[in-house]
Structure 1
Amino acid sequence: MSNHLTISILTSVPYSNLNRDDNGTPKRVTVGGALRALHSSQSVKRGIRVAYENSSLDRSVRSGNLVGEVVAKSLEMSPDADEKAITKVAKNLIGTLTKQDSSAEGSERSAWLSEEEITAAATTVLNGTDEDFMAEGKTGSLAIAAFGRMFANAPKKGTEAALSVSPGITTHAATIETDYFSTVDDVRERNRDTGATFLGISQYTNGIFYRTISIDRAQLKESWSGFDLESSTGNLRDLITAIIYGLPRGKENSTAPYVQPALVLAEEQQYRTAYDFETPVPNSKDGGYLPTSIERLAQQYDAARRFDPDNFGPLEALTGTYADLDGKFGNLKATSLKEFVDAVVEWVRQ
């Protein structure tokens, strides 16, 4: 029995700029001699975390101002507390975890705590001590357990990530499009004056993005203190669903690129492996890159099993919106999203 499950996702992302560089240009990378559009793994993880926490209400806080969060929680629990005194204790407490940034006096390096840990820290602060308030290597937040964290001043308090997340990269050569825009001035328009208030440009891209997420269930059980709780099944369902739907969120209100994945493939594996599109796929005869991307993935699926059939365990599951998935990946037939998520959650909990 293997502890690893890799989920491969192909998504046709329309005109958008979900992940951009410091100049506002969609992130990109050259693969196989062709320019590809890129969604960084950090942006993908952020999208998954936000989707998961919004669904499950299992909240956490990642910030450079955790002292302020702890003080606010302390005052919520005890409104009559001396704010100046508890702030001093809170600084010492958070300082046991993170190093202070010397370039900005009083500010802390970004760190990540669950709401449960913030409450525990607030209780400690109200008691006027700087005693230990969190377990080593564990957390009650599934998001933190999934993606991991480290503390510069307290390495043993860090949490090993149970998920490995790849960047999303287009399976084909991509282009960056420039959009010229202007903003209309309502007063000028009313007075029939010409000219806009602002003129500018934005850049966008689109394509078939391939990304993978690998789950280490043994590490998840080790990192997540809530693994054995009755509520854990619901949290896991929310996380797997967020993995499938979660995308970076840049300029989302400008383009609304909310799409369902064309293909989602889960494979139990002894050694974690994914597929690649080093050679860019060509346009299909009817247009578009999705059919040829799925064909290329299916070819690699077969090749992987010819090379090392023993690497793959009994659990496989397939879903997606593409109309012709049945029979392309061995004997797998596409299921509903619910059936897919149920199968993955059952595997995780074994």
Structure 2
Amino acid sequence: MTDRTYIDIHVLHSVPPSNLNRDDAGSPKQAVYGGVRRARVSSQAWKRATRVAFTDELHLPAEQLGTRTKRISSLLARRIAARTGLDDVAAARLGTALLAQDLNIKAGKKETETAYLLFFGINQLDAIIDLIAERAEELAALADDALTKAVADLPVREQLTSGHPIDVALFGRMVADITSLNVDAATQVAHAISTHPVEIEFDYYTAVDDQKTAEEDAGAAMIGTVEFTSATLYRFATLGVHQLTANLGGDTNAALDATRAFLTAFVRSMPTGHQNTFAHRTLPSLVSFVVRDDQPVNLVSAFEKPVRSRNSGIAEESARRLAKELSRAASSWGVTPLAVASVYEPNSDQNTDTLAAFGVPHSLDEAIASVLQAVRGRLQEPA
């Protein structure tokens, strides 16, 4: 059994003019907090960016990761064909029979799709194929009724409820019609909001037709506008290491590897909305990992009164506010961290005592190593 252990992740992240995450009208998402309008990036957008970072930045192997798709049937059929040598039609028929027995996954509007997105691991599909690989040709030769009967007792559901990839273990899975496939998420991710008020601005742009001659109309061939904002964002997420360990079958080494991957990817990731227009990829100005054994603590209340700093800058003042709120949570409410490891670089003219709650500055790798060391001692092999 694993003791209850949380890792809170607090990030201050300044982005230049950008439209990271837009609404249905194309505007940057916003929220009213503390009586003023803030820039906002949805939790879904940053979770997606984190998942992409697992592959693009951390280069984690595909067998450790999941995929979210309506095309589980066709994906399973292709892997059956590649593994067993069956033709596409026979592989699709066999795959459909496997998924239909006891799962009852509903078909979507398109023949090749399910009615809803399913989040699963490629390794879990391979585990399903393991059940029939040695007699695939024999099963494919059966009539429909005989095939259904032949696969009826195979533990297909068990393959999708164990051996989870790390992103399913982290972010969970919800299938309303098949509750036995549900996985409780080990992470919670807040909507990122600006620590200060923002206004939406408009970029008026034109495009010139390169093939026009000097004698022709010299006007633009196309004109348009795109909305943008710039902000110092407060980002928060929390990871329940105990839940992550349970989702990974009690494998503490796998849980530590997944924790390292999540901490790294969440901090370094960035949503890609309008990235070619704004080139908004920046790195955080401050990251603080806080290990707790009581409850997660979102420190957004540090910014309920919006930051309005003209002298030292928004990010510096936001860091001071965040440190003060971290200390207040411990002194006033008794939620005292087990460990704190932070990444920041105090300015030479800054009173470092104001940031003492963050501890001494580390590099990102050092901070994560410190957190993992604190967590490792709390992980126990399952009884």
Both proteins in one fold, TM over 0.5: yes
* Structure 1 residues 246 and 41: alpha-carbon distance in aligned structure 2, compared to 1, 3 A threshold: same
SS in structure 1 of the partner of residue 21 of structure 2: coil
- Which residue is 1:159 aligned to? 183
Deviations 1:44-85 (A, max 9, x none): 10111110233123332111112121122222223x313223
Deviations 1:219-275 (A, max 9, x none): 01100248345x765544332110111222212222221111111112222121111
State the shift of 1:209 in Å. Answer: 0.5
- Which residue is 1:208 aligned to? 232
Deviations 1:190-232 (A, max 9, x none): 8865233322111111101011111111101100248345x76
Q: Structure 1 residues 332-341 or 47-56, which shifts more?
A: 47-56
- Which residue is 2:319 aligned to? 294
Is structure 2 residue 299 aligned with structure 1 residue 275? yes
Q: Within 5 Å, give how 1:160-309 maps onto structure 2.
A: 160-188=184-212, 193-225=217-249, 227-229=251-253, 233-269=256-292, 270-276=294-300, 277-286=303-312, 288-309=313-334
Measure the CA separation in 1 of the matches of 2:255 and 2:239.
Answer: 16
State the shift of 1:125 in Å. Answer: 6.4
Measure the CA separation in 2 of the matches of 1:189 and 1:120.
Answer: 64
CA RMSD of aligned residues (A): 2.6
Q: Within 5 Å, give how 1:22-101 maps onto structure 2.
A: 22-54=24-56, 55=58, 56-57=60-61, 58-78=64-84, 80-94=85-99, 96=103, 98-101=105-108
Q: Amino acid of the residue matched to residue 330 of structure 2?
A: R
Measure the CA separation in 2 of the matches of 1:125 and 1:182.
Answer: 59
Measure the CA separation in 2 of the matches of 1:47 and 1:62.
Answer: 14
Q: Structure 1 residues 88-97 or 68-77, which shifts more?
A: 88-97
User: 2:288·2:358 contact (CA, 8 Å) conserved in 1?
Assistant: no
Deviations 1:165-204 (A, max 9, x none): 1110001111111111122222226886523332211111
* Structure 1 residues 191 and 100: alpha-carbon distance in aligned structure 2, compared to 1, 3 A threshold: farther
* Structure 1 residues 331 and 121: alpha-carbon distance in aligned structure 2, compared to 1, 3 A threshold: closer
User: 1:26·1:204 contact (CA, 8 Å) conserved in 2?
Assistant: yes
State the shift of 1:26 in Å. Answer: 0.5
Q: Amino acid of the residue matched to residue 318 of structure 1?
A: S
User: 2:4·2:242 contact (CA, 8 Å) conserved in 1?
Assistant: no
Unaligned runs of 5+ in 2: 140-150, 378-383
* Structure 1 residues 2 and 118: alpha-carbon distance in aligned structure 2, compared to 1, 3 A threshold: closer
Deviations 1:16-52 (A, max 9, x none): 1110011111111111221111100000101111102
Alignment length (residue pairs): 345
Q: Structure 1 residues 276-285 or 127-136, which shifts more?
A: 127-136
State the shift of 1:87 in Å. Answer: 1.7
Measure the CA separation in 1 of the matches of 2:8 and 2:169.
Answer: 17
User: 2:172·2:182 contact (CA, 8 Å) conserved in 1?
Assistant: yes
Q: Amino acid of the residue matched to residue 39 of structure 1?
A: V
Q: Amino acid of the residue matched to residue 107 of structure 2?
A: Q
- Which residue is 2:18 aligned to? 16
Measure the CA separation in 2 of the matches of 1:228 and 1:191.
Answer: 73
Identity %: 26
- Which residue is 1:343 aligned to? 370
Unaligned runs of 5+ in 1: none
* Structure 1 residues 295 and 113: alpha-carbon distance in aligned structure 2, compared to 1, 3 A threshold: same
Q: Amino acid of the residue matched to residue 160 of structure 1?
A: D
Measure the CA separation in 1 of the matches of 2:119 and 2:250.
Answer: 17
